[in-house]
Chains A and B, each alone.
Chain A
Amino acid sequence: MADNVRPRVKAPRKAEPGEAVTIKTLISHPMESGQRKDSDGNPIPRSIIHRFTCEFNGEMVVDVAMEPAISTNPYFEFEAVIPEAGDLKFTWYDDDGDVYEETKTVAMA
């Protein structure tokens, strides 16, 4: 498991029905690209988060396929529609098989 991987999400706690809200996500992860070599000259194997998804009450907002060119501590900002009260679910998929999740509940304003 990659060490010290922590997701962070900024999303509003309340929204009007049908409101468009801005969501920001950040996850601390080294995103080892596979391009670097260690001090002995051996290539350090790739180990990145390769996919990020955001859903609201089970419906897809955004699904991102990520490559090593995404910077360390991957950051995304996008907009979601909140039709009703419910849960925003964020998922990050690591090359090493780990899956990181975060959920934010949004109430109706």
Chain B
Amino acid sequence: MTLTRRSVMVMGAGAVVAFGLPMRASAAGEDKIAEFTGGADMAEGGITLSAPEIAENGNTVPIEVSAPGAEAILVLAMGNPTPGVAEFRFGPLAASQTASTRIRLAGTQDVVAIAKMKDGSFARASSNVKVTIGGCGG
């Protein structure tokens, strides 16, 4: 069976996927954030998250995260069946705390990136990505 958007969507029980209607943010997402930050406050700024406003296709959405001086960046898809996407840890030979990748989004939702800085503080950025289904190509 080919891995198509349609087959993923059929799985997403209760998920509303029409254009523009937001998905419920999962409580699991907030839990993951709390786990990562230990409940600490997160600054707005100091981290950038680039994601398209409208995803060409939810199966492959290019994103980029950047947080100068960060030790680690956690990326979450708040409306996916499981919110975890990736956690980037930057070592001593990372030239910049920047990374790009391609992710799967099950529907319109917020993608959240949280940076843990070397000084122990946290920063947060989020981006709303519209994911559509429909049209002849699917």
* Residues in chain A within 8 A of chain B (CB atoms): 20-21, 30, 32-33, 35-39, 55-56, 59-72, 74-81, 83
Contacts and interface: CB of A to CB of B under 8 A. Distances in A.
B59 A62 contact: no
Interface stretch (B39-47, B81-89, B122-130): B81-89
B104 A71 contact: yes
A96 to B, nearest CB: 17
B94 A69 contact: no
Q: Report, as a range, how many residues of chain B touch the other chain.
A: 35 or more
B93 A56 contact: yes
Contacts of B59: 71-72
Contacts, number: 114
B87 to A, nearest CB: 4
Nearest to B73: A64
A79 B23 CA distance: 34
A39 B2 CA distance: 11
Nearest to A38: B1
Interface centre among B86, B96, B103 (most CB of A within 10 A): B86
Interface in B84-102: 84-96, 98-102
B136 interface: no
